Amino acid sequence: MKLAATAGGGLLLGFNWTNSGAATASVVNNTALAAGTEFNSYLSIAADGIVTIFSPNPEVGQGIKTAFPMIVAEELDVDWTKVKTVQAPLDKNKFERQVTGGSGAIPHSWKRLRQAGATARQMLMEAAAKRLNVPAGELSTEKGMVIHKASNKKLSYGELAADAAKLTAPTDVKLKDIKDFKLIGTSVKNVENKNLFTGKPLFGIDFHREGMLYAMIQRPSAFGMKIKSADVTAAKAMPGIVDVVTFNNNVAVVGKSTWQVMKARKALKVEYEKEGDLESTSDHDRLFTELMNNGEATERRKDGDVEAAFKNAAKVIKSEYQCPFLPHSPLEPMNFFAHVRPDGVELVGPTQTPDLARNETAKLLGIDPEKVTVEMTRMGGGFGRRLKADFAIEAVEVSRLVKAPVKLIWTREDDMTGGSYRPAVRYRFEAALDAQGNMIGYKLRGVGINAGNSTREHNFPSGAVDNLLIDSVEHKSPITTGAWRAPITNFLAFAEQSFLDEVAITAGKDPVQFRLDLLDKAKKAPVGEIKYDIDRMKAVIQLAAEKSGWGKKKDVAQGFSVYFSHLSYVAQVGEVAMQNGKPVLKKIYAAADCGVVVNLSGARQQVIGGVVDGLGHAMYGNLTFKEGAPEQTNYNSYRLIRINEIPEVEVHFVDNGIDPTGLGEPALPPTGAAVANAIFKATNKRLKNQPFIEQDAFKGVS
C-alpha cells in the first residue's frame, strides 16, 4: 500500500478493524511506519477533503466495499460523495480476519470501524479548536466541516487534515448514539456500479499479465478414480500449447489462450483406475437407510429422558427428509493467477481466504509465507466455494512446473464436477405428544455424507422440549464436500421447520402459535442450554405473521418458517395459490433481525437474494452420481432458478438497535419450509425431499 501518497498535507490514520485487542487508531507517520505498527486498515483525509478508506476484506457480492466505508463515514460525519474506497492487498501479518464467509464481515468490524471514524473526527475537532482558539466542546461537525456555531465559523476537514496529523490520536472516543445515524440505515448504491456496468476488469478471471500462460486441468473422471496413464502427445502438438504437465492426480494443459487450451485438453488420452469406492446416488439412498437404523451415532445433545417420553406418549410422529449434493455454481468459475519466481510467489485472484492461499503455497513450496503476496480481486460469487484454496494451489503447482506466470481457469464443467459440494443428508425426526398435544419428546438423527456434524443441536426447538435427543451418523465418501452458503442449516432448517409444521398440525395447533408457545416455554422453563435469543426469535415470528396477515387470507394458502443462523433471525411466510389444479408460489414475506441495517439497499438484496437462492435450490438443485461421476455437468442438465420463476418477495427488518449480526446467509435457510408448508396447506401433499420439482406435489408442473 502506498502510504506516502497522503503524506503531503493530509491525515493518515491507521487502525485495526479485525483485532479487538490491538492498539486503537493512531496517526501513521514515518516513525510509526518504521516501527512497523500493525494496522490493517487506513483512513486518509487529503487536503482537498477527499476521504479514502482502505478496506482489506475481499468483495464477493455481500456489499462490504460499500458498507464498511459507510460505517466509518457515519462516525466521521463526512459527505458520502467525498468518500473513496480502495481494496487493500493481503498485507503480511496484518490481516487476522481477512475472510469472507460465515456472514461475519460486518459484525466483526462494526465497532472498530466506528471507532476509526470517531477518532478522526475528534482529531479534526481538536485541530479546529486550536486554530479557532475555542474550546472543542463548542464545536460540532457536519458533512465534512467542523462548525463553530457561536462565531458562525466553518473549517473543512481538508483544511484541518495537516494539523490533525500532528496530534496524538485519542484512545477513548465517544461513538454516536444510534438514533443520530444519518447515513447508516439508508440506501447507498454499490460503489462499484459504474465499473460493473461498463465492463471494467474487476474479477479474477479478467486479470491479465503480459506474457502469462493459460492453464486448464484434467482431473479424475469420477470420485474414487485416479490416473493410471496419460498420453499427452496429441495434446502437446496442438496449436498454441506450450506444455502439458502432470502433478498429483492432475494433467495440466498450458498454452497461449483459453480456447487453445480447452481444445487441447479434449485431445488428452488419460486412463483412470479405481482407488476408492465408486458411489452412485442409488448407493447413497441405500446407505442412508442402513445408517439411519444401524449406524454408529455420535450423541450431540441429550436432555431429560427421551425413552420414557416416547413410551408414555399419546401420539408419536415420525418423518424423514432428504437432500442431494449441490455444487456452488458461482457464475464466475474458479480461477487464479500464480507466478512462482525464484525469489517469491505472486498470487492474484478471487479468494475468500487469502491467508489460506498464502500459507498453503508456502507449505507446498517450502518457503516463508512472507515470500508470498496475495492480491484479491472482486469475486463473481462464492457461496462458500472460495473458502478453499485448492484452485490457487493448482495455479501455483502449474506455474512452478512450467516456470512462467500462469492463469488457471476452471470451465463450468470443471466447477460442477470438481467436488466440494454441499453434502447430501437425510434426517429422521420423531416427536412425542401428550394427550393435550404438547411436545414432550423430540428426537433428531442426521445421516450425512462427508457432512461432519449434520445437526445443529443447540438450535430451536432445543431448550423448549423436556426430553430431547439429537445425534448424527457420518458416512465417509470419496465425493468431496465443503461449506455451502449457510452450511448444514441450508437444508436442516427446511427439514426441521417442515417437521414442526407436521407436529403442529397433528397437535391441532396453529403453526405460528405452536412455535410461540414453545418459545414461551423455553423462556419460562428452559431445558438445558439455550443458545439463541428467545425474544429476538419471537419478534421476527410476530413481524412476519403481522406483515403477511397470517391466517387471515382466504385466497392463498400460507406456510410458516423461522430460523436462527449466523447470529441473525429470519422468519418467512410463503403464499401459494391453486391455478388449474396446480400449486403456484405467489409471494414470500421475510422478516429479518440482523441488528442494525447498515446499507438498506445491500441488505434488502441480501435477503431477497437469499430467498431466491433458497427457493431455487430447494426447487431444482440436484446433483446425482453414477459410479462416482456427477451426472450433471453444466446448466443444461443442472437447473438454476431463472427470472420467470421467482415469486414476489417482501422484506421487513426488525428495528432494535442491536449491533449488526450479519446477513449474507441467514435469509436462505427458512425459505424451503415456508414454501413447502404453504404447498402442504394448499395440496395436502408434504414435500420431504429436495429438489421439490421431482416430488409428487409437483409431478407434471413446470
Partner 1 sequence: MAKYKLQINSKSYQADVEPDTPLLWVLRDHLGLVGTKYGCGIAQCGACTVHVNGEAVRSCVLPVSAVGTSKVTTIEGLSEKGDHPVQVAWDEVDVAQCGYCQAGQIMTAAALLKKKPKPSSEEIDAAMTGNICRCGTYHRIRQAVQVASTKTK
Binding residues vs partner 1 (CB under 8 A): 60-63, 187, 189-190, 192-194, 196-203, 205-206, 208, 214, 239, 257-260, 263, 329-333, 378-383, 411-412, 601, 605-606, 608-613, 616, 634-636, 640-644, 646, 649
CB-count exposure of residue 640 (10 Å: 0-12, 13-18, 19+): middle
Residue pair 527/465 in contact (Cβ under 8 Å)? The answer is: yes
CB of 191 to ligand FES, least distance (A): 15
Minimum Å distance from CB 490 to ligand FES? 18
Residue 54 phi, psi dihedral angles, 5° rounding: -95, 115
Task: Please pick, from the candidates 89, 381, 478, 647, the single residue that binds ligand FES as defined by CB under 6 A.
Answer: 381
Q: At closest approach, how far in Å is the CB of 381 from ligand FES?
A: 5
* 276 binds ligand FES, rule: CB under 6 A: no
Task: Output phi, psi for 91, to 5 deg.
Answer: -115, 90
Assign 465 to helix, strand or coil: coil
Instruction: Indicate the residue among 42 and 383 with the shorter CB distance to ligand FES.
Output: 383
For residue 612, the minimal CB distance to ligand FES (Å) is: 11
Give the span between the Cα atoms of 578 and 555, in whole angstroms: 9
Task: Work out what residue 143 binds among ligand FES, partner 1, none; the CB cut-off runs from 5 to 8 Å by kind.
Answer: none
Asked whether the beta carbons of 230 and 269 are under 8 A apart, the reply is: yes
HSE, side-chain direction, 13 A CA sphere, residue 651: 20
Q: Which partner from the list partner 1, ligand FES, none does 287 bind, CB cut-off 5 to 8 Å by kind?
A: none
| Contact partner at residue 34 from partner 1, ligand FES, none, CB < 5 to 8 Å by partner kind | none
CB closer to ligand FES, 379 vs 447: 379
Closest residue to ligand FES using C-beta atoms:
331
331 binds ligand FES (CB under 6 A): yes
In whole angstroms, the minimum distance from the beta carbon of 201 to partner 1 comes to 5
CA neighbours closer than 13 Å in the CB half-sphere of residue 376: 31
Q: Which is nearer to partner 1, 291 or 387 (CB)?
A: 387
Binding site partner of 435, from ligand FES, partner 1, none, Cβ cut-off 5-8 A by kind: none
DSSP assignment of 597-627 equals -S-HHHHHHHHHHHHHHHHHHHHH--B-EET
Q: Which is nearer to partner 1, 117 or 614 (CB)?
A: 614
Beta carbon of residue 619, minimum distance to ligand FES (angstroms, whole number): 18
Neighbours of 320 (CB within 10 A): 18
- Cα angle for residues 18, 24, 29 (degrees, 5° grid): 105
Closer Cβ to partner 1, 324 or 380, answer by number: 380
Cβ 571 vs Cβ 590: under 8 Å = yes
Which residue's CB is nearer to ligand FES, number 331 or number 578?
331
Residue number, 166 or 642, with CB nearest to ligand FES = 642
Contact 38, 93 (CB under 8 A): yes
Instruction: Choose among ligand FES, partner 1, none what residue 214 binds, the Cβ cut-off being 5 to 8 Å by kind.
Output: partner 1
Please give the backbone phi and psi of residue 396, each rounded to the nearest 5 degrees, phi first: -65, -45
55's contact among ligand FES, partner 1, none, with CB below 5 to 8 A by partner kind, is: none
Residue 224, exposed/middle/buried by CB under 10 A (0-12, 13-18, 19+)?
buried
Indicate which single residue of 14, 49, 56, 61 sits in contact with ligand FES (rule: CB under 6 A): 61
Question: Would you call the peptide bond into 691 cis, given omega within 30 degrees of 0 as the criterion?
Answer: yes
Q: Which does 192 bind (CB under 5 to 8 A by kind): partner 1, ligand FES, none?
A: partner 1
Residue with Cβ nearer partner 1 (108 or 378): 378
375: enclosing H helix or E strand: strand 372-376
Question: Which of ligand FES, partner 1, none does 80 bind, CB closer than 5 to 8 A by kind?
Answer: none
Question: Could you tell me how many residues of this chain bind ligand FES (CB under 6 A)?
Answer: 3
| Residue (381 or 482) nearer to ligand FES, CB | 381
The grid coordinates listed for 433 are: 405428544
Min separation Cβ 61 and ligand FES, Å: 5
Cβ–Cβ < 8 Å for 696, 685: yes
Q: Are 419 and 630 spatial neighbours (Cβ–Cβ below 8 Å)?
A: no
Q: How big is the CA angle at 411 (ends 406 and 413), to the nearest 5 degrees?
A: 150
57 or 472: CB nearest partner 1: 57
The span from the CA of 371 to the CA of 622, in Å, is: 42
Residues of this chain that interact with ligand FES (CB under 6 A) are 61, 331, 381
